[in-house]
Structure 1
Amino acid sequence: MMNSINTNSGALIALQNLNSTNSELSTTQGRINTGKKVANAKDNGAIWSMSKMQSSSSSSLNSVKDSLQRGQSTIDVALAAGDTITDLLSKMKEKALAASDTSLNTASFNALKADFESLRDQITKAATNAKFNGVSLADGTTASLTFLANADGGGFTVASKTLSLVGIGLAAGSTFTDAATAKTMIATITTALTTATNKLSSLGTNSVGLDTHLTFVGKLQDSLEAGVGNLVDADLAKESAKLQSLQTKQQLGVQALSIANQTPQSILSLFK
């Protein structure tokens, strides 16, 4: 090996190795600081792009969950109105049955008739006021509602189940005038009660469907987030061990460079 005071090959090699160690150390420290092995496009362009797309899909699902939860609330309000309406229909049937008794005097009959009509009017109020966020599935003002089902804008459609008087088969002014018409009204109310419960059953099925899909969307979002973590998150235990190794390697590199820098001084001894 040639000895030269102009070119110190050993020092150049030591410096290259030290620079390489410092670069690795900087990368490892960055991973420990951010907790990510791919923090930006410079680290790994393909993985970074993939993680960003998946993160975007996961974030979009928040809007889907909000929409589905709004759908749940809208159906719950309609179901609450339906429960009230079926209770009112049961009471109306009771009043009509009592009024069909031919032994009643006029005052008692009129009292039962007034109670029946009051209950009838309450059905209209319950159906009309069954709104969530200004939207109702019970008053017949809308044919159906469509809520978000996925990040691509797909929909989950819920058909309206009209629970107004007309919707359950009762005329707006349904009443009875004597015992005979009161007896006829019993069958009409029974039919209306059957119609109302069938519509409520359908709404209940839709509600279960929304619950199931909401649960699925939550699991999907968790899976996407876990997948992104697998792509970009750093193994901190591994990085910690590597940090210790690189710090030791850095110290040795500094010493090696120091020794290499002293080599030209040995040439002086040749001239003594």
Structure 2
Amino acid sequence: MSTILVTGATGNVGRHVVSRLSEAGLAVRALARDPERAGLPVETVRGDLTAPETLEPALDGVDSVFLLWPGFTAGDAAEVVARIADHARRVVYLSALGADSSSHYGEIEQLIRRSGLSWTFLRPGGFAVNTLMWADQIRQGVVRWPYGKASRALIHEKDIAAVAVHVLTSAGHKGATYELTGPDELTQIDQVRVIGEVVGRDVRWEEQPPEEARERLLAAWGEPAFVDSALRTWESFVTGPERATDTVRRLLGRPALAFRQWAEDHAADFS
């Protein structure tokens, strides 16, 4: 039986990929910096994508790789992709919507295209799970953030994982690029409203000056270029909303999960 290696296996998407593949009875191996603490239900091998020399044990006998790149720059991606190509037949790369114009996502896609691997790119838009950054503010009843009228079709991490597993376990996806979103085009103000309704709390939006948000994000992320890119992206969604795609429905035969469903699944995180 061919083994599938899942990187980013302890993250929001990766854990669901591991669980779905394992439940389907497939041979799954997870990559983790600390296997003992990972708590995954499959073989978990120590390794770190930022240290390519550590990847050989994880790649031994692998046919397919689910690749989720850590960090905001391509770093050692060229060596990592080369090592994957030495062992595996195909890779499913979790990229991002707009990767053609986004430095490290686009750069890694190009490395994969030139690697000789059979590849599929998943390009999700905004992750619903990123709204967890508002959890403390929602508990206090006020979310202070910039660009409240920025509209996005946020996707549930379970849908990204379901698409990844479908692509990894079925034919017809070689050379495909899939743009993935949720079904609801909601402004950030509406996202906060929905979360408040789900958790039974009155939450209001307070518009924050972008320069103030930038200082906060710099403290949290520590990467000026990425912070500035994120702020420009949110600003752009005020006048040019992120439009919902039907890719999840086409691939899985069911609609993408609604943002309200995501909020219900994560209600405890806002309590």
TM-score (structure 1 length as normaliser): 0.19
Which structure shows the higher strand fraction?
2
The structure with higher relative contact order (CA 8 Å, sep 6+) is: 1
Which structure shows the higher helix fraction?
1
TM-score (structure 2 length as normaliser): 0.19
Greater Rg over alpha carbons, structure: 1
